[in-house]
Amino acid sequence: MDLEGTTRGQHALTHAHTQDVEKQFALVERHILRLRTSRAYEDSEIVIMCERNLGFESEHLQRALNGLPNVRHRIDHAAQRYGIIMNEEV
């Protein structure tokens, strides 16, 4: 798992690879909960921008993390799907 710092105090989880999907969802959830232990991030909105592809991983991740407070997933309103296409400008 890699955490990259970005501008304005934002962070990006760039790699959370594992073969077991449930473990991947749990890993991302643990990461979010760990960020919440910092006063700087305890009330911050977290936006998840997962790659959108034919496997519907972004939709599955959205369902798995649906109950977390202040967490939202990027929606492509034109396609009516969660996630981004990797060659799409965000």
Residue-level pLDDT at 1 = 43
Per-residue pLDDT of the chain (90 residues; tens, 9 = 90+): 444 455 555 565 555 555 688 898 999 999 999 999 999 999 999 999 988 877 788 999 999 999 999 999 999 888 889 988 877 565
pLDDT at 18: 55
- The confidence score (pLDDT) of residue 14 equals 53
Max CA separation in the chain (angstroms): 38
pLDDT at 6: 52
**What pLDDT does 3 receive?**
47
